[in-house]
A and B are shown apart, each in its own frame.
Chain A
Amino acid sequence: MLPGLDRRFEAVIFDWDGTAVPDRQASAGRLRAVVERLCELGFDLAVVSGTHVGNVDSQLRARPGGPGRLHLLLNRGSEVFVVDEAGPRLTYRREATPEEDAALTAAAELVAARLAERGLRTEIVSARLNRRKIDLIPEPAWADPLKARIAELLVAVEARLSRAGLAGLREAVELAQTAAEEAGLADPRVTSDVKHVEIGLTDKSDSARWILRDLWARGIGPGLVLVAGDEMGSLGGLAGSDSFLLVSEAARATAVSVGVEPGGVPEGVLALGDGPPAFLGLLRDQLRRREGLELPRVDEAPGWTLSVEGLDPHLERVHEALLTLADGRIGTSGIPVAAHPAITPGVLAAGVYAGEGAGTQLLPCPIWNLLPCEVEASGGLRRVLDLRTGVQRQELELSAGPLSGLLFSSLARPGTAVLRACGPGTVPDGDSRLVPPPGGPETEVGETDGRRWMRVAASSPGVVAAVGERRTEGSSDGMLERLTTYLPGPTRAPSPRVARRRLGDAEKQGFDRLLVEQRRAWAERWEAADIVIEGDPELQLAVRLALFHLMASAATSGEAAVGARGLTGPGYRGHVFWDADVFVLPFLAATHPPAARAMLEYRFRRLDAARGAAQAAGKEGARFPWESAGSGFDVTPSSALDRTGRLSPILTGALEEHVTADVAWAVACYAAWTGDRRFASGPGRELLVETARYWASRIRLDGDGRGHIDGVIGPDEYHEEVDDNAFTNVMARWNLRRAAEATAGASADEEERRRWLELADGLVDGYDSATGLYEQFAGFFALEPLVIQEVAPKRPIAAEALLGRDRVSSAQVVKQADVLMLHQLVPDEVVPGSLVPNLLFYEPRTAHGSSLSPGVHAALFARAGRLDRALELLRLTSRIDLDDLTGTTAGGLHLAAMGSLWQALVFGFLGLRPDGRLLRLDPLLPEEWRSLEARVRFRGRRIRIRVARGSVSVFAEAPVGVGVGDALAAAGPSGAGFRLRSGGWEAVSG
């Protein structure tokens, strides 16, 4: 096989006449068999031709069952059919307007007339869909020329044209181009297959773009695609008809010509020659590779892959966290598949905790991604994580030889892990097994229906994993395929039999189908979640990495306990903080609501525990814990050794009560993005009511009837046990008002509602209208006026650790956004215009000692129009894990910071927020970026927003109202546009 073709592809886009078949009469039986089998193994095929479906389908007659798809992209770019067991089905057709149709006919007649003026007889042979064909050589000898005779045909046509005084085929095409424009066609596509010159509305480039887009939307990038034709090179001074397949989007695809190519092939196109037999050989080779279980590749598309070269013992665990594979249910550290002393194998199951109280932690699970071989100290290692598909490919140099592996944690079947490895080191003697979790609890192993399983903790909570393997051993290479299914039992003992049954389901699918599912599932998630930043490739990759891990960390059904590090590491013991409700959930609510809903379900199912906590404190309603795990009771440690070596009391569990309002805020955030009425009137309302009841019982009324909340910790944890923390009070006020609104007209106690509203109105918030400032808590302004920006060499800085707890608590040094968090979460609950004065006052006093801080401030600086500082903080946020700025990335990724990165881009730079049924934007673009594009899902519709300098475009699956500044428009599939004029934004048509 020609170098460049001796590899596995995932799809082929190919021309029909001359490439797949020699002529329309030839039998395509052998081709059909290969096509159907390839589809069965997950391979995609796309026929591109100028002819119509009857011609191609009657010749090919393939009826593939999938999962790979067969597309027919016909009528020179105007139609797309997908073919399944029932035959071809039209999925797209370019419909010409009557005006366009008339212009096509006029153009063809004009060409024929102008050639006739020169004495050349031509025929308008057909009026095809969206085009007209003019036969330049209407002679019986050339009625239906074979492709193999194209060079002779060219000579004959050019001789004929020459007799009419035309310089050649090129001039005939130019003549047609001019005629088409004169006939009023805006974007005519003039092509020639030598015999004809064709004027159309579309050409093969439209087909190529359509199918590449479709493949991309199913997780198959151009780097995995083969493009085949027989007319890639120029002919008669014109670009070959198949060169239209080589669109810019196909730049990373492999292109091959099997044609005669008298003028040679363009640079980068492989010349195979030998016509349809060679093409059939190519397909058979692909079939052989799939049946031989060759390892698939990943498409290393710029901005989409994270690659780690070598094994640096110092940074290995950081890399493993960054390379984590997760599916919302289980997360697996991105270790190499071969052992090394520096690696930390780890598999975690969401929501499955072991231990008691503060010691509660995620239960370590059996390891599936380790083979019984070792990485050599000096051996090569390369790991590439494809963020687009959640697939990781590894290349290792072992003492036995090279080893390659492909791994994924199935997003389509959460709890299913897939590994295929090839190489002589893959098939060691004896059985490979699941590896017990290092340092973990006792495991038991067994076998059910011929498959091994391993269970961690036989009673609840526990996890059982069932594993199946198959191996081949060739003359030089060996292959191992391992499927593992995990069954978490957060509340009851997991059954090996159920895990075995799920394994059986996965095995029935097989590796290739599981891979197809995986690619499609991830690509689908990205369709409603991607962010594109033109002009900053480094930030682009960092943002995608963040979104990838945010998506991978939350289940989409049942309940989702999203710990501070998600499923990317054991840090923070998997405990769930406000990080989940306020930083992670908004991204999911706006991109994949089922995951946000599952996160709320986690809170809802722990409402009784929260009620118990309120009752224990002598209050009403529900009080959510600062740190939550399985039971819903508070699991915050009461003390911890700090970096000075002292045992310090930890008061957050007792005093950081704003988490209760944060849970309520998450309810409202989800409802605003989704419009999910069933939730809003059910669990959502109950959560709002119970949290409001807590605040109502928590507020102390003074003699003047003003309400106070004493003795709390706000987000600024440098100051403990403070009274009237602005953030806590305003969030409580918002919570009370929101609960009153949610219960208006419902069966709630009207008196209780009225009381909530009275309490809300009377609750002090520390706002001073003279200065425009909110006082962070009672007495904050009287503290030592230490401006950390002026005394610290650089920020962020862990001020408490450096200056000491006492010094910091007695000064105006703020850990992270506290007052300003209100402007981020509840901008309608603060005084209009108060952002800028509070930002200018508090930010210089903020150490940014929490990883949650820079992202929030990036969003707020963007809102305040200070794009330079916003961008600086945005970039800082994007590097927290990539550069291990905390020294703790090894313990897992900072999911909340990743969530804040998305919020800074979407809430901050785009100024995007739901407003009832309207989606509002107020975009600001830094000079460094050419454009910013975001995809979200609003009230069930997928929305794409693109902001360039002075313009906004919004596309929606179904009509949705969009407001940019004061301008309003309805966006649908064809989009709505806005332009920035001197007077502000205005809607433009088209």
Chain B
Amino acid sequence: MTKVIAAIDSSAAARPVLAAAAAIGGLLDAEVEALHVREDGDRAPRAQAQAAGLSLRTIAGPTVAGIVRAARPEDVVAVVLGARGTPGGRRPAGRTALEVITALGKPLVIVPPSAARPDRLLRILVPLDGTKETAEALQGTITLARGRELEVVVLHVHDEASLPPFEDQPQHETETWAREFLARHCPCPPEELRLELRIGSPPDYVVRVAREADVDLVALGWSQDLSPGRAAVVRATLARSPVPVLLIPSRRR
């Protein structure tokens, strides 16, 4: 049996983390284990876990190293933790979240404090930037989601560079282009997916479309590189997403 770890702290944000972990566990057919890295006691987390029907494993800190260490075993397939950041702030995800996402080469779900708590996932947004790396990173997620009968909404945001230079008859061109885009980047038949196209800045559109499409989860492929000028979509999405964000490291870093 595989395992999803829900890393919780003593705050109220633990509740949506546990809910998201349960949904992700359902998606992955994995059991969920609540984890608390003790720095200042575990009373609150234990209560939260108990309320969620989960047992709590408590380990000694420091927090980031503890989470990474706990997630290392092969049977751990994903880690869910809270964002704990100030939306719109300079560091939208909390310090712990940012350190874990760059340190752990496994799928991670970052849950905003205000995230809704659905019992199960119904709709997932998968932004694809048209690169092979991103597509490869997200193929498993799309296959899994389709296997669980989730609606997969693929988003591609054109920018000046990626917009095809020709558009003969838009009533046909977009349809043909979209079909081929899905065929190139997705592992299932185009007719099984919904494609949303936008033109502009991808960081702006991911969260906007997530809201418009009323998705339960945003899945992003990324290179785990948060150096300046990199991962603009990940930063923006972590900062503003109303729903949990699944980060899948791409093979190439």
Chain A residues with a Cβ under 8 A of chain B = 313-314, 317, 342, 344, 358, 439, 564, 571-573, 575, 577, 636-637, 639-645, 648, 650, 652, 793, 795-798, 800-802, 848-852, 880, 885-888, 890-892, 894
Contacts and interface: CB of A to CB of B under 8 A. Distances in A.
Closest 9 CB pairs of A and B: A891-B176, A640-B171, A796-B165, A890-B180, A571-B176, A798-B167, A888-B176, A572-B172, A637-B171
A146 to B, nearest CB: 69
Given A793-B160, A798-B166, A886-B168, 19 more contacts: A313-B184, A314-B132, A577-B169, A637-B171, A640-B171, A642-B170, A643-B158, A643-B174, A645-B197, A648-B170, A652-B171, A801-B163, A801-B167, A801-B199, A849-B165, A886-B164, A888-B177, A888-B180, A890-B176
Contacts of A314: 132, 184
B177 A887 contact: yes
B128 to A, nearest CB: 13
A575 B191 CA distance: 21
Contacts of B163: 643, 797-798, 801-802
A31 to B, nearest CB: 57
B151 interface: no
Given A798-B163, A850-B167, A645 B176 contact: no
B169 A851 contact: no
Nearest to B135: A314
Contacts of A643: 158, 163, 167, 170, 174, 197-199
Residue among B158, B160, B169, B197 with the highest chain A CB neighbour number at 10 A? B169
Contacts of A849: 165-167
Contacts, number: 114
Nearest to A894: B168
B135 to A, nearest CB: 9
Contact of B180 (A642, A850, A891): A891
B172 A885 contact: no
21 contacts: A313-B184, A314-B132, A573-B172, A640-B172, A642-B174, A643-B158, A643-B174, A643-B199, A645-B197, A645-B198, A793-B160, A797-B165, A798-B163, A800-B167, A802-B163, A849-B166, A850-B168, A885-B165, A886-B168, A887-B177, A890-B176
Nearest to A642: B170
A720 to B, nearest CB: 12
A534 B169 CA distance: 35
Interface residues of B, number: 30
A573 B168 CA distance: 14
Interface of B: 132, 158, 160, 163-177, 179-181, 183-184, 189, 191, 196-199, 209
Contacts of A851: 166, 168
Contact of B181 (A564, A650, A886, A887): A887
A441 B32 CA distance: 45
Contact of A640 (B158, B160, B165, B174): B174
B197 A644 contact: yes
B183 A798 contact: no
B197 A641 contact: yes
A797 B162 CA distance: 11
A880 B176 contact: no
Contacts of B164: 798, 885-888
Which of A314, A358, A885 has the largest number of chain B CB atoms within 10 A?
A: A314
A885 B184 CA distance: 15
Given A644-B197, A890-B183, A880 B166 contact: yes
Contacts of B166: 796, 798, 848-851, 880, 885-886
B181 to A, nearest CB: 7
Contacts of B160: 793, 802
A572 B176 contact: yes
Nearest to A891: B176
A880 B158 CA distance: 20
A393 B197 CA distance: 39
A534 to B, nearest CB: 30
Nearest to A439: B191
Nearest to A797: B165
B58 to A, nearest CB: 46
A880 B167 CA distance: 12
Contacts of B167: 643, 798, 800-801, 849-850, 886
Nearest to A626: B169
Contacts of A801: 158, 163, 167, 199
B220 to A, nearest CB: 19
B26 to A, nearest CB: 28
Contacts of B171: 358, 636-637, 639-640, 650, 652
Nearest to A652: B169
Contacts of B176: 571-572, 888, 890-892
A641 B179 CA distance: 13
A571 B173 CA distance: 8
Which of A575, A643, A796, A801 has the most C-beta atoms of chain B within 10 angstroms of its own C-beta?
A: A643
